[in-house]
Structure 1
Amino acid sequence: MLRLRSSILARLLSSPASSPISQLHRQLSAAAPPITPNHHSFALDDYLVHNCGLTRPQALKVSGKLAHITSPTKPDAVLAFLAGLGLSRADVAAVVAKDPKILCAGVEKTLTPTVIDLAGLGLSRTEIARLVSLTPGNFRRRSLVSNLPYYISLFGSTDNLVPFFKQSSGLLGSSLDKVVRPNVAFLQQCGLRDCDISKLCLSTPWVLSANPEQVRAFVACAEGLGVPRGSRTYMNALDAIAFLGEDNVAAKVEYLKKTLRWSDAELRMAVCKAPNVLKRSKESLQRRSHFFFSEVGLEPAYIARRPVMLCYNLESRLRPRYYVFKFLMVNGLLDNGWGFNSISKVSEKVFMDKFICPHKESAPHLAQDYAKACRGEVPVSFRFT
């Protein structure tokens, strides 16, 4: 019977999306002869392990939420439903572990109508199965069908929704009219496009489901750092603030000023150009400041005007390229117009083409020495003491 129910659901999902719910109900009812439960022999923990694929520790953890289940009737129907969508045994185990209450859901009254409505929105069986896997709790709620079209429009496609749901599925349960739409409208007023908002949600999943006043405070924090709305780096500033948390931004700003010897104006200029400097760890900033000031001899103002330098890898990019830069300078092999910042920011291919390959004859070991420097060694030719 369970295999028959699964095959009927699979056939309906492959049929035109306009198939009426009543047809599905009639076919499921005809395919589902009554099951006589054996209440006395039903052991929930064993059922979760043997029928649902959970490990014994997982079964013990979730069984408390299903203590009212005394028969396999409803869980059997749900498992057949999930199999009919194409979920593997491992997928089913993951779904039950994530949302054990799905085993209590009504197949005819809740799950099947949801599948038909989602198919009516244009979702394929594979997309529906993926949605069940990512957010089984929301799949049990009929609001999923009414809310999903808005999110598909905002994110561009169901494929674009997948990474977000892997981060957080709570958004589907938030009120569209009271929370989500006001937050989206406000972010759009700040100059963010829909694609920007979707990217922001990947790193800051709470931004659309938060209280609108909290989102406004979040935005005000970015503007307080001097990053104007609509600027090229505005979204990066919001992302950095979300990464730190508003309460930690002021402390990080003070640390940047102290470590990099920046004035207030230099700090604002640097954050405006490269907000991601706020995400650098204190240890990372300390090592880079020592390198720039003590080894390279740069001035604080120079770094403030080029703050992206703080985001480059010190050991595999900045230091090896500085060794090459200094070697070329000392040996009169560097063309005019190239400074350390210019050498630091070009791609690896451009760096090799411009500063390594042209000197195969005059400095035959340069490529080898550069490779060693990238591995953390300091070749003799790069020591100028």
Structure 2
Amino acid sequence: MVDYLVSTCGVPQAKVAKAAPRFAHLRSPDRPDAALAFLRSQGLTRAQVRAVVTLHPTLLLRDVDATIAPKFRAVRLLMKCLAKKWLLKYSVDWLKDSMSTLRGYGVPEARLVATLRQRPALIMRSPARLRALAARVDACGVPRGSWMYAWALLALHCVSDAAFRAKMAAVMCATGCTEQEFLAMFRRAPCFVGMSTELLRRKVEFLIGTAGCGADDIVRNPVLLTYSLSKRMEPLCRAIEALKARGVDVGKERLVTILRKPEVRFMERYILRYSHQAPELLELYPPDHHNGSLSGDSSTIGSSSQSEGD
């Protein structure tokens, strides 16, 4: 092990003498080899590996999967937070006050944590600005303490009042809904206001013009506006049309109902079931579109489906 630490790791002789007894129980270099291989796989140079091992030689005795890899993941998470230098400008008391304010609105703890993971800047607002934000959410009719309240806070945190009203006007114009109906849509799926006005218009046009949805379908199911056009709605509609063109009886379900099916159920019911009759289905609705992210992402704001901006 003395030779190993010097020749393989480049540890200085003075450090080796002190560290070698810790390695006396080893019968093979398998574990140190695995640790070194992992460090190099993470992009560390030979000089960096030597520096790390010289400082903490016993790192080579740690299990990669159980100890080293989890610590690397934790450090990478920490570095992402530290990269936001503005976070370091706020005192602990400020952050605690903001958290206390949010808890005071009855936001469930689990939802509060999930919300702050998505948008930590929410707790950087002063208590006065948080109260103003909460007032906007209250004006939309979202009840405090409800499961959607945190997502509504997060959605309006990212959208100014002027932008919110512009999007409301666009949806009202495209669907013919009233302001109260729009606010009801927001209460069911707050995140759809986070996309651009143009994208909202395109999605409404697709749902009505191509998918055959009625305006009332969109009003009752605002979660439709959170679905991806290119990754979900367009390929799904192409797949259903291909089945119908081959004379396959896809049942009496309306397309709006099919659109809302969880990804796994849609794949089983329409793609895998008929792939032998219509092999092109796997190209129209390729496997990389059903990797799980579209079937129910619990971190998505206010919906059970993928929300994205294409």
Common topology (TM > 0.5): yes
Look up the match of 1:63: none
Relative to structure 1, is the Cα distance of residues 164 and 263 closer, same or farther in structure 2, using a 3 angstrom cutoff? Answer: farther
Q: 1:341 maps to what in 2?
A: 256
Write the mapping of 1:321-340 to structure 2, written as runs, cut at 5 A. 321-326=236-241, 331=247, 333-336=249-252, 338-340=253-255
Q: Which runs of 4+ in 1 moved over 6 A?
A: 158-161
The answer (yes or no) to whether the contact 1:164–1:201 under 8 Å persists in 2 is no
Which of 276, 280, 283 in structure 2 is aligned with 1:368?
280
- Normalized against structure 1, the TM-score is what? 0.50
| Structure 2 unaligned blocks of 5 or more | 1-11, 20-48, 54-66, 288-310
Residue 98 of structure 2 contacts residue 123 of structure 2 at CA under 8 Å; is this kept in 1?
yes
Q: Does 1:255 align with 2:167?
A: no
Q: Deviations over 1:277-312 (max 9, x none)?
A: 101222221221221222233222211111111111
Q: 1:215 aligns with which of 125, 130, 143?
A: 130
User: What residue in structure 2 maps to residue 226 of structure 1?
Assistant: 141
Aligned position for 1:292: 207
Structure 2 counterpart of 1:222, which letter? Answer: V
- Per the TM alignment, residue 252 of structure 1 is displaced from its structure 2 partner at its CA by 2.4
Size of the aligned set, in residue pairs, is 230
User: Residue 318 of structure 1: CA displacement?
Assistant: 1.2
Q: Distance in 2 between matches of 1:163 and 1:198?
A: 19
The answer on whether the counterparts of 1:343 and 1:351 sit within 8 Å (CA) in structure 2 is yes
* In 2: Cα distance, 1:259 partner to 1:222 partner: 24
TM-score scaled by length of structure 2: 0.60
Letter of the 1:205 counterpart: P
Q: Which amino acid aligns with 1:191?
A: G
Q: What are the superposed Cα offsets for residues 59-111 of structure 1, whole Å, 9 maximum, x if unpaired?
A: xxxxxxxxxxxxxxxxxxxxxxxx9x959xxxxxxxxxxxxxxxxxxxxxxxx
1:162 is the counterpart of 2:57: no
Please state how far the C-alpha of 1:265 moved relative to its aligned partner. Answer: 2.2
Query: Which residue in the other structure is 1:175 paired with?
Result: 91
Q: Which moved more, 1:209-218 or 1:220-229?
A: 220-229
How far the C-alpha of 1:215 sits from its partner, in A, is 0.9
Q: Kindly, what percent of the aligned residue pairs are identical?
A: 21
Provide the rounded CA distance (Å) in 1 between the counterparts of 2:193 and 2:213.
Answer: 20
The aligned residue for residue 196 of structure 1 is: 111
Alpha-carbon offset, residue 349 of structure 1: 3.4
The aligned amino acid for 2:104 is Q
Equivalent in the alignment of 1:28:
none
Q: Tell me, in whole angstroms, the C-alpha distance in 2 between the residues paired with 1:160 and 1:219.
A: 33
Report the secondary structure of 1:208's partner residue: helix
Out of 213-222 and 197-206, give the one that drifted further: 197-206
Q: What's the counterpart of residue 306 of structure 1?
A: 221
Distance change (3 Å), C-alpha of 1:165 and 1:318: same
Distance 1:373 1:357, change over 3 A: closer
Q: 1:240–1:279: 8 Å Cα contact kept in structure 2?
A: yes
Q: Higher relative CO (CA 8 A, sep ≥ 6), structure 1 or 2?
A: 2
Whole-angstrom distance in 1 between the partners of 2:79 and 2:178: 40
Is the 2:134–2:153 contact (alpha carbons within 8 Å) kept by the matching residues of 1?
yes
Q: Which amino acid aligns with 1:371?
A: E
Give 3-state SS (helix, strand or coil) of 1:359's partner.
Answer: coil
8 Å contact from structure 2 (residues 151, 190) kept in 1: yes
CA contact (8 A) 1:260 1:300 kept: yes
Change in Cα spacing, 1:327 to 1:163, as seen in structure 2 (3 Å) is same
Matches within 5 A, 1:1-385: 162=78, 165-166=81-82, 168-177=84-93, 179-326=94-241, 331=247, 333-336=249-252, 338-359=253-274, 364=277, 366-369=278-281, 371-372=283-284
Gaps of 5+ in 1: 12-82, 88-123, 131-157, 376-385
Q: CA deviation at 1:181?
A: 2.2
Structure of greater Rg? 1
Could you tell me whether the CA contact under 8 Å between 2:213 and 2:255 is conserved in 1? no
Q: Is the 8 A contact 1:218 1:246 kept in 2?
A: no
Asked if the contact 2:217–2:256 (Cα under 8 Å) also holds between the matched residues in 1, the reply is no
Give the superposition deviation at 1:207.
2.3
* Cα drift, residue 275 of structure 1: 0.7
Question: Which residue identity does 1:217 align to in structure 2?
Answer: A
User: Is 2:95–2:123's contact at 8 Å kept on the other side of the alignment?
Assistant: yes
